[in-house]
Chains A and B, each alone.
Chain A
Amino acid sequence: MATTMLAPKSRSFQKTISYLRKYWTLYLMLILPIAFFVIFRYIPMMYIQIAFKRYSIVKSPWEMPLANNHGFEYFIKAFANRDFRFAVRNTLMLNLLDLLVGFPAPIILALLLNELPFKRFKRVTQTVAYMPHFLSWIIIYGMTVHLLAPTSGLVNIVLGRLGFEPIPFLNNSTLWVGTYVLLGVWQSVGWNTIIYLAALTSINPELYEAAAVDGAGRFRMIWHVTLPGLRPTIITLLILSLGRILSSEFDRPYALGNALVNNVSNVIATFVYTYGIRGLQFSLTTAVGLFQSVVCVVFLFAADALAKRFGERGIW
């Protein structure tokens, strides 16, 4: 009796031993990466409770006293804060404009590149168009100042010579928003074509031949063959962009912004930087960060569900 009970157990034990003997090095390799994720991505989540507590530099997050209004004091304070309301508005506004202008741009460019019959020229265009992606926003800001500054910028010098008034691209709020969006397109349009061009190569060439036989011209082919071929890619990227509608970049608005356009350039990420790291209001800015993270997750799920409702594959 005892032996029959023991036999399968020890066999599975032996199996585990031989499995570990064979693969223990895999676990050894994973130690550092997993430790990285636990320490730098999961342990910070423990600090999120600061959003509901009164921050104290001498206490651990667990010991800090609960904030007023059942812990929601700092969320209420955040929404009462004018800068924060502006930051939310600006984040939404800039992201929506990016979506409106920046999302279709690479699709159009990919279609154009796809129609180019000159192969070498196409390659050169691609290489040059990828270049801005490799520039930091600081560098782009430096270039922008040289190009668009009111008196010494190249564009305004040219305008001045032609007898026009200088245009304050960087210090008028409305113009700044336009500059911000266009610089975003400039920086990313080439790079973002990569994925569409890859999707284009998987379209069956027979479809084009069949369309040609039916007498379809260039535009009809784009409309009936190329764009349907890009549809899954477009939908996936659209879901991801919608999911990021309240997430905010830091580098771009921080580098491009200045005191005169604060009312439009201040986004959530820069708000957290000024109020948290420089202003030391940790509870308030943790609450803001939590709000942002939660909304981002909700938006991502919502966009995914919406896509699935329309019969698309979604991202999961």
Chain B
Amino acid sequence: MIKSKSSRVGDYIIAFICLLLMLACLLPMLNILARSLSSAQAIIRNEVFLWPKGWNIEAYRFVLTDSKYTWSLIWTAILTVICTIVSMTMTILCAFPLTYDKLKGRRFFNTLIILTMYFSAGTIPTYLLLKDLGMINKPIVLIVPNCLSVFYMIIMRSYFYGIPESLRESAEIDGAGPIRILTSIYLPLSKPVLATLSLFYAVGRWNGFSDALMFLGNNRKYYPIQLLLYNIIKSITSIEVTTQEGFATPGLNETIQAATVMFATVPILMVYPWLQKYFISGATLGAIRE
């Protein structure tokens, strides 16, 4: 199609807007990166913008040697791996049987599950149940109570629906049972959705803090990195943010805080672009069937 001059100008205007959007997304990250690599003095003198000033990696060395930080990072990583495995197992176990039209009671199971999307008991009843189960203040409370998301289960189920039924039927004729059909047909064909949902679950756990805040009490040993970060940021910035005059914040603390933010974001930022192709289809699947 031949484009008129004015529409070509329009294309560049749109591209410019997109460029501004990209800058809006990237500049805050660059600012944090610059701060994490700057000297305390430069930060106190408000000299750091997008490029580190008074280059030093003291903050990173501190975070990597201080046991409170290293343990929190390691613990959150372990927790994320455990939660992702548990959640994926539960999601597969839930979604696969529900794809069988012949399954007796399928409607009942589906209704039972979908209803929880529309009506939830609320925070306090859940809290009281967890208390009665003896889970409060224990690390298990970060794993089990939210290990299965209905929304992600629906995404998985719609992906399974997309696999031709003839494959399953011919395997059944060959005498394969559901477990064999799942492991040798469905799972190998579902790599995109498995990757997508693993990413979603992992990001959710890595970024989550409200369950730790509400259910872990004072068991600080098991605070995930986000909650630790929150406490650090609040303690540093409470003076800065809550007073109009605003005292200058202690420089080294601020570089440490910036370095912690980098540690907490970089793992995700390294992974998600590679999975983009997959999660786009995953996110769309869920939306259509909701």
Q: Chain A residues in contact with chain B, CB under 8 A?
A: 19, 22-23, 25-27, 29-30, 32-34, 36-37, 39-48, 50, 109, 112-113, 115-118, 121-122, 124-132, 134-136, 138-139, 141-147, 149-152, 154, 157, 160, 166, 168, 170-171, 186, 189-191, 194-195, 197-198, 212, 217-218, 233, 236, 240, 250-251, 254-255, 258-260, 269, 272-273, 276-277, 282, 285-286, 289-290, 292-293, 296-297, 300, 315
Contacts and interface: CB of A to CB of B under 8 A. Distances in A.
Interface in B61-77: none
A186 B24 contact: yes
Contact of A33 (B90, B124, B206, B268): B90
Contacts of B10: 115, 218
Majority SS at the chain A contact face: helix
Contact of A40 (B144, B203, B283): B144
24 contacts: A37-B112, A47-B124, A125-B18, A128-B25, A134-B265, A134-B272, A136-B264, A138-B229, A138-B230, A141-B230, A142-B258, A146-B32, A146-B35, A149-B237, A149-B241, A149-B246, A152-B43, A157-B49, A160-B46, A186-B25, A194-B283, A217-B7, A250-B210, A272-B123
B82 interface: no
Contacts of A290: 122
B288 to A, nearest CB: 8
Nearest to A290: B122
Contacts of B269: 131, 134
B171 interface: no
Contacts of B122: 44, 48, 272, 286, 289-290, 292-293
B68 to A, nearest CB: 17
Given A23-B100, A139-B261, A293-B120, A29 B93 contact: yes
A19 B93 CA distance: 19
A23 B206 CA distance: 37
Contacts of B166: none
A154 B240 CA distance: 14
A129 B25 contact: yes
Contacts of B206: 136
B127 to A, nearest CB: 6
A36 B226 contact: no
A26 to B, nearest CB: 4
Given A135-B207, A190-B25, A115 B14 contact: yes
A263 to B, nearest CB: 14
User: Which 4 residue pairs of A and B lie closest in terms of their CB atoms, listed nearest first?
Assistant: A289-B122, A136-B207, A33-B94, A47-B125
Given A36-B148, A116-B15, A285-B123, 6 more contacts: A26-B96, A36-B90, A41-B121, A134-B265, A135-B265, A136-B208
A250 B123 CA distance: 11
B212 to A, nearest CB: 11
A41 B129 CA distance: 10
A194 to B, nearest CB: 5
Interface centre among A129, A139, A143, A145 (most CB of B within 10 A): A139
A44 to B, nearest CB: 4
B170 interface: no
Interface centre among B24, B128, B265, B283 (most CB of A within 10 A): B128
B15 A121 contact: yes
Contacts of A160: 46
A286 B124 contact: yes
A145 B241 contact: yes
B282 to A, nearest CB: 9
Nearest to A128: B22
A300 B230 CA distance: 34
B276 interface: yes
B276 A112 contact: no
B273 A127 contact: yes
Contact of A30 (B31, B93, B249, B280): B93
A195 B11 contact: no
Interface string B92-107: 0110111010111000
Contacts of A30: 93-94, 97-98, 109
B102 A23 contact: yes
